[in-house]
Structure 1
Amino acid sequence: MGDCPSLVLIEADVWRNERGEENGGQAWFQLKNEYLLTKRNILDFQHVPGHACVYPRDHNQLRNLLGIIRFRTGDETTQYITNRKTWNENSPARDLIHLSGFYDTSVPELLHYFSIGKLPKTQKAQDTSTARELYMLDSQDDEYGVNIAFKHQQMLEMLPFFIRSDFQKTEESIKSLCRVPHYLRISPGWSMGNIHSPYPMHLGKQLIKDRLCILGIEV
């Protein structure tokens, strides 16, 4: 790793395929749910030809690695409703107005953080009574379905592991790692919607700097 503290972001898709068919024969089995809990404090590359090794969390070359965040997207993530009223009553479902983050504590050893994008300001068609109930999986032939850009903001699951010891002390410090890519899904200068994955590093660095400036924090 470099001289600066770093986070590694990796999508779970294709890397978990036992045969590696979708990724040129490459796979990282540790990203599968059945292995990740027991191997959350190591990096297991025993299956990689010519690099069969296991890195412990206190490895000297990885001291600046704050953690690794596994992403899950698309049909692997849960659907959501915005409030209990929508669940209990026959009332229209509405998207979340703001960028929203939630977390699941049912597995205390592995924090599951869920990032949902904010409602776009310019997409008026999605707030009609006709379109409000439609979702991404609805018919592609429906003019109010998936053909509307940014129709419903998608949920992104973030699961941090291989977390540096000083960030494992409290749940808040672990959540702070997830909030970095969470906030990098939007830009203050763009109101149309949200990107699916976080901004590239050079744009993210400037975006964080701009946000800290708004908070009055000098960097």
Structure 2
Amino acid sequence: MDALVPRPRTVVAPGAVHVPGWLDADARRALVEACRDWAAGPVPMRHTRLPRGGVMSVRTVCLGWHWKPYAYSRTADDVNGARVAPFPDWLAEWGRRALADAYRDPAAGDGYAPDTALINFYGAGARMGMHQDRDERSGAPVVSLTVGDACVFRFGNTETRGRPYTDVQLESGDLFVFGGPARLAYHGVPKVLPGTGDPAAGLHSGRLNLTMRVTGLTEP
């Protein structure tokens, strides 16, 4: 999977960078196929139940470590008890290249070793409320990839779920990286834009979002 191309970028906030069209058609298609395999198991894609009883509208499957609100484990004890699929080396390499391209620094990805990925599928009406990615013990950047329907991605501040925030339209193939002072910024997806899918990638409707992270965890 060597079909990645650098593109112009927009710095949304210090440490937060949007790179449109980072994945070309071959890479988008390969990612969709991989996500379909991961969604089939060993832990299937599911709607995550929150501690207070709510159910997330997105469907999620994890790699490397399983995320259950609000912690990581190697086994999906809230689903079927199986160990999650391993985090692939090729995806880690994508993560390192993503940081180098986003930050325009060939050394930005040096030492970046993501060990988990959350793959969210946004079907009709799905959205994501404002939240922080703060269950990791590492401050390494989050690398986010979008395939399929475009969405409104709301990127906020580190103090509150409200303003100030910036709305960015993420389209199929886009990369978004946030690290450094933006690592704990609140962010969410208030709206997915139906009818903007990516048939060339094999995804006619819905949005796939893969975020890779460094947990900072070790085996128990």
Could you say whether these structures have the same fold, taking a TM-score greater than 0.5 normalized by the shorter chain as the test? no
More strand as a share of residues: 2
Smaller-chain TM-score range?
Answer: under 0.3
Higher RCO (CA < 8 A, seq sep 6+)? 2
More helix as a share of residues: 1
